[in-house]
Chains A and B, each alone.
Chain A
Amino acid sequence: MKQPVDFTLTPGFITKLSLMMGMALLPHVANVPINISLYLLLLLAWRILGLYIDKLQPGRLLLFAVTLISIFIVYSQYQTLLGRDAGVALLGMMLLLKVNEIRKRRDIYVSVFISYFVVITQFLFSQSAVLSLYLFSVVIGLTSLLMEINRVTPSSKVYRPLIATFKITLQALPVAMVLFIVFPRITQPLWNFSSEASARTGLDDRVTPGAISDLIESSEVAFRVQFQQPPPEKKQLYWRGLVLWDSDGFSWYTDEKRPLGRETIKLWMIDNPIKYEIFLEPHDERWLFALDIPLEAPPRSRLTHDFQLLYNDRVTKPISYSLHSLSRYSMNRISPGQRRRALDLAENITQRQRNLVAQWKAASNSDREVVEQALRYFNTELFIYTLSPPRYQTNPVEEFLFEGMAGFCEHYATSFTQLMRIAGIPSRLVLGYQGGEYNALGDYFIIRQYHAHAWSEVWLEGQGWVRIDPTAAVAPERVEYSLRRDFAGQGAPAMFEIDGGGALDSVLRHFTHALDNANIQWRRWIVGYSREHQFTLMRNFGVDSYTSMQWSFITLGILAIVLLLVGLTIIRQGRLLLSPAQRVYQRFCNKLSSIGISRRSYEGPLDFAQRAARNRPDLASQISAIADLYIELRYASQENDRRQQRLFARRVRQFRPRAR
């Protein structure tokens, strides 16, 4: 008795299986510590070598010991065996130990299924289009192994099972898409492990000297923006993130213990609001970004009195939201509490600073003029805009203003805000991004970490909170062009990237923009697909709740249609082959049916011929001759008799019945 296990348990096949598992695990290298990665690699190598070198074949006892060691390694690394990170490391080890004890076909199934699970866990760390494409092919590779063990002889070509599996996967794709679109999204986690925030680059809620210049090193995308109308000028793109009210003379922050109270602020529009959509990358913080003054809060977030948008949770996965913003506006009043706080001074204000401000105040009649004086001061004195300023350690503002005079946006913004407070003008620090990189292919802006920026807002009577960017006074290029990151050494002035460089640059930019465009479409439609999108879509069908029965009906209905269509294509592939004799006979039947005698499904050729002959005695001899030939050809296994075949074909051709 030949069992189809023959080739499935050979070293060759298990090597293939092990390598596929390795591929499923590979992206985790970025997610687990290096020593875990190396340990996993060791296990994989041990398995594959063991297939060929008998001495390395592990016994049961050794395998058990290694299992215990693996658990110990995971525990000592993470201090737990639960949760995402430890779970993934443990899963990888168990998977690679599982291949070490493949003895039956069942073990192969189990190994492949665990690998599927490993693939799913990759998406807990990254959901990029490239990774998805990679994992999609890994799944096809894994599944093709199942196809191989369900056939008897190994495929002659390595790629055949892959292509066959790929086809089946493509047929499954519509089903997957339907389920993806309609399956209810539950926003609350079902269970919760201790939060495992990974370190991400992004803005911090505290500005210390050097905080932003660190960010400038990163070209990671912070968010993307698509305008619903012609976008404002680049130098007007100030993306508000968070507002900092308090300073201890060294850093800026917002003291959570000092609530500002709720108050209503009246806004007058000077221009029409700008409508746009933001696709935010996860940054593990609660704040959302908006252009200047947002007018409303997106779902699951709130708008604070100082126009910050705060999300209900930390943003741990990509989200998107639409907003209206005002760039030109006026506000009515400031509450005494706010005013007091916006004038609070740190203790390390020096007499030199007070003297400087006193000079400006003496030379001006209004707050607005003081602001202008200050900006002029930054502009005319020998201030240098640089990414690598000297370290200001004891009193950063003092050292920057009067000693170093070289700094980055955070230095200008913090000093400016502090000087305004000394002058009695309520002011606060705003942290966010400035500018953006336009992607013409997708008609949107990419805002990267190196667009991070800090500026100031001052309260001017009659106007309200007005954005003032002292950096722009020193280095207007900063707000018009992006920074070039290839700056040279300590103290070197910052360089700016001016659009329209060399041809190579433009090709490169074109390419990266195309890639980014694909990525954002992916983000927008797949990764960022949310409950809100779902409801917008389902409202077209008049359904507005998960609990509505119609929701299930529509789901099942669409699914049924898709399955039917896919099913039909599959069945069509397996159509029966008709032998030449059958095809000719089919023609004969068609001719008879054209004169009103149709063959019934249960009628054999003989019964049919007899009935036809009874109906048309005038054709009886022809009909019976054809039927006899056919029966002989078909059932007396003479299908290969060429002469008979030709005779049969001729008879049928010559058979031209006419209706009476």
Chain B
Amino acid sequence: MAAFALTNRLQQLRRRAKPESRGKLRVAPRSIYILPTRQGMLLALLLLLMLAGSINYGSNLGHLMTFLLGGIWLITILHTWRNLLGLTIQPGEAASVFAGQTADFTLRVVNNSKTNRYGIALSAMRQPGGTVDIAADCGAELHIPVNTQHRGILPIPEITIHTTFPFGLFRAWSYAQLDLSCLVYPKPAAQGEPPTKAIYNHSDSGDRGVGADDFIGLRSYRLGDSPRQIDWKAHARERGLMSKQFGGDRSDQVSLDWELLKEYETEQRLSLLCRFILQAEEREQSYSLRMPGEKIATGSGPLHQQRCLSLLARYGYDDETAG
């Protein structure tokens, strides 16, 4: 309990750099922490050993060399600190991903100073991001990959910007709160068909729907096709992976409804809906989505898909934030 209180207190003591206007953040002198790395401590230990040796053999130059290395050790603190000082971090967008995939946060680090900066690294949630060198008055883009596990809004409460330049003896770092987040779509369910009566519309282009009844031909394999659809004979004849296509349903409009999946629990429902949306896009069907309290009208295309998936991802979140 006491330990918890202490860490809590330490958390409060940490000076996080707060973003300036427009979400930019400049690493301020007093928000930089610095501690020796493992190598830095090893060298310090070795220097003590060297000093003992120099004293023992009464070697003045041994003293001098030890002190010179000790001086370098000390001066490095300032250099490591300065390597981080004044860098500006500009958050970028993180593209939405499905749960289980890796979200890629892109940030831009700008060096507005007259000196080159080397080995600048970012990390978030204990996951290391990239490292870059940034020349004077230049900027560089850095990616932080973060593994996602759950659907919803993945917040990145703080980013750590750090460096061990010049000699890896010290690590300087600063915490940046940039209000980054990534929308994580539900993980699509493995397989399934929407439990809905497809609406049959007459189409001028004829019978090009997708169904399960009549075999209508082969097309090349697409990601997500069931193995049962694959024409294995064609594959054996070395014609590549082909999927059998079945037609006859002629359904080109699907209405997806939260209420129709009552037998599943919430996350499972969202997963299924996600799969259905992807399927519908795949089959070039148009679809509508009805969620509790919200309905997205029939449509199709990437933008529509994104709206629908976002609705799934945010399910339950808006209430929480409101509450």
Q: Report the Cα distance A177→B66, complex, angstroms.
A: 11
Q: Report the Cα distance A132→B75, complex, angstroms.
A: 22
> Which of B161-169, B191-199, B225-233 makes up part of the contact surface?
B161-169
Whether B206 sits at the interface, judged by CB under 8 Å, is: no
Whether A127 sits at the interface, judged by CB under 8 Å, is: yes
CB distance from A92 to the nearest CB of B (A): 16
B52 proximity list for chain A (CB < 8 A) = 190
CB distance from A222 to the nearest CB of B (A): 20
Whether B299 sits at the interface, judged by CB under 8 Å, is: no
Chain B 24-58 near chain A by CB (<8 Å), digits 1 or 0: 00000000000000110011001001101111111
Q: Report the Cα distance A180→B66, complex, angstroms.
A: 9
Chain A 120-159 near chain B by CB (<8 Å), digits 1 or 0: 1101100100001001100100010011011111000000
Whether A635 sits at the interface, judged by CB under 8 Å, is: yes
Q: A147: which of B61, B86, B167 is its contact (CB, 8 Å)?
A: B167
CB distance from A204 to the nearest CB of B (A): 25
CB distance from A111 to the nearest CB of B (A): 12
A3 proximity list for chain B (CB < 8 A) = 131
B82 proximity list for chain A (CB < 8 A) = 570-571, 573-574
Find the residue from A2, A143, A571, A574 having the highest chain B CB count within 10 A: A574
* B78 and A567 contacting across the interface, CB-CB below 8 Å: yes
With CB as the reference atom, state the residue of chain A lying closest to B43. A113
**Interchain Cβ contacts within 8 Å, total number:** 180
CB distance from A652 to the nearest CB of B (A): 21
CB distance from B54 to the nearest CB of A (A): 7
Whether B22 sits at the interface, judged by CB under 8 Å, is: yes
A139-B69, A152-B131 are contacts. A116–B63 as well, Cβ < 8 Å? no
* B114 and A106 contacting across the interface, CB-CB below 8 Å: no
Within 8 A of B (CB), among A3-22: 3-4
CB distance from A112 to the nearest CB of B (A): 9
Chain B 70-84 near chain A by CB (<8 Å), digits 1 or 0: 111011101100100
CB distance from B66 to the nearest CB of A (A): 7
Q: Report the Cα distance A173→B76, complex, angstroms.
A: 13
* B113 and A179 contacting across the interface, CB-CB below 8 Å: no
* A127 and B59 contacting across the interface, CB-CB below 8 Å: yes
A123-B65, A168-B72 are contacts. A152–B119 as well, Cβ < 8 Å? yes
Whether B21 sits at the interface, judged by CB under 8 Å, is: yes
Whether B89 sits at the interface, judged by CB under 8 Å, is: no
Q: Report the Cα distance A54→B39, complex, angstroms.
A: 30
* A151 and B75 contacting across the interface, CB-CB below 8 Å: no
A150-B164, A573-B115 are contacts. A132–B46 as well, Cβ < 8 Å? no
B139 proximity list for chain A (CB < 8 A) = none
Whether B258 sits at the interface, judged by CB under 8 Å, is: no
> Which of A181-189, A385-393, A590-598 makes up part of the contact surface?
A181-189
Interface size class of B (residues with CB under 8 A): 35 or more
Chain A 183-223 near chain B by CB (<8 Å), digits 1 or 0: 10111011100000000000000000000000000000000
B168 proximity list for chain A (CB < 8 A) = 105, 109, 146, 149-150
Q: Report the Cα distance A653→B230, complex, angstroms.
A: 76
Whether B68 sits at the interface, judged by CB under 8 Å, is: yes
Q: B118: which of A84, A106, A152, A176 is its contact (CB, 8 Å)?
A: A152
* A4 and B131 contacting across the interface, CB-CB below 8 Å: yes
Whether A1 sits at the interface, judged by CB under 8 Å, is: yes
* B113 and A577 contacting across the interface, CB-CB below 8 Å: yes
Find the residue from B38, B64, B79 having the highest chain A CB count within 10 A: B64
Whether A362 sits at the interface, judged by CB under 8 Å, is: no
Which secondary structure dominates where chain A touches chain B?
Answer: helix
A146-B166, A151-B165 are contacts. A113–B60 as well, Cβ < 8 Å? no
* A175 and B75 contacting across the interface, CB-CB below 8 Å: yes
Q: A172: which of B56, B74, B119, B128 is its contact (CB, 8 Å)?
A: B74
Find the residue from A121, A175, A604 having the highest chain B CB count within 10 A: A175
Q: Report the Cα distance A528→B58, complex, angstroms.
A: 11
Find the residue from B22, B56, B82 having the highest chain A CB count within 10 A: B56
B65 proximity list for chain A (CB < 8 A) = 119-120, 123, 135, 139
* B74 and A168 contacting across the interface, CB-CB below 8 Å: no
Chain A 368-400 near chain B by CB (<8 Å), digits 1 or 0: 000000000000000000000000000000000
* B167 and A150 contacting across the interface, CB-CB below 8 Å: yes
* A576 and B60 contacting across the interface, CB-CB below 8 Å: no
Whether A529 sits at the interface, judged by CB under 8 Å, is: yes
With CB as the reference atom, state the residue of chain B lying closest to A190. B56
* B71 and A109 contacting across the interface, CB-CB below 8 Å: no
A120 proximity list for chain B (CB < 8 A) = 50, 53-54, 62, 65-66
A1-B145, A152-B119 are contacts. A574–B70 as well, Cβ < 8 Å? no
Whether A563 sits at the interface, judged by CB under 8 Å, is: yes
CB distance from B118 to the nearest CB of A (A): 4
* A527 and B57 contacting across the interface, CB-CB below 8 Å: no
With CB as the reference atom, state the residue of chain A lying closest to B84. A574
Whether B132 sits at the interface, judged by CB under 8 Å, is: yes
Q: Report the Cα distance A613→B300, complex, angstroms.
A: 54
Whether A171 sits at the interface, judged by CB under 8 Å, is: yes
Whether A317 sits at the interface, judged by CB under 8 Å, is: yes
A190 proximity list for chain B (CB < 8 A) = 52, 55-56
* A175 and B70 contacting across the interface, CB-CB below 8 Å: yes
* A151 and B113 contacting across the interface, CB-CB below 8 Å: no
Whether A492 sits at the interface, judged by CB under 8 Å, is: no
* A526 and B167 contacting across the interface, CB-CB below 8 Å: no
A and B contact pairs by CB, cutoff 8 A, 16 listed: A117-B50, A119-B65, A120-B54, A124-B53, A124-B62, A150-B167, A153-B133, A168-B72, A173-B68, A176-B71, A179-B67, A183-B67, A189-B58, A527-B61, A574-B113, A576-B114
Chain A residues near B (Cβ < 8 Å): 1-4, 84, 105-106, 109-110, 113, 116-117, 119-121, 123-124, 127, 132, 135-136, 139, 143, 146-147, 149-153, 164-165, 168-169, 171-177, 179-180, 183, 185-187, 189-191, 316-317, 526-529, 563, 566-567, 570-571, 573-577, 579, 604, 635
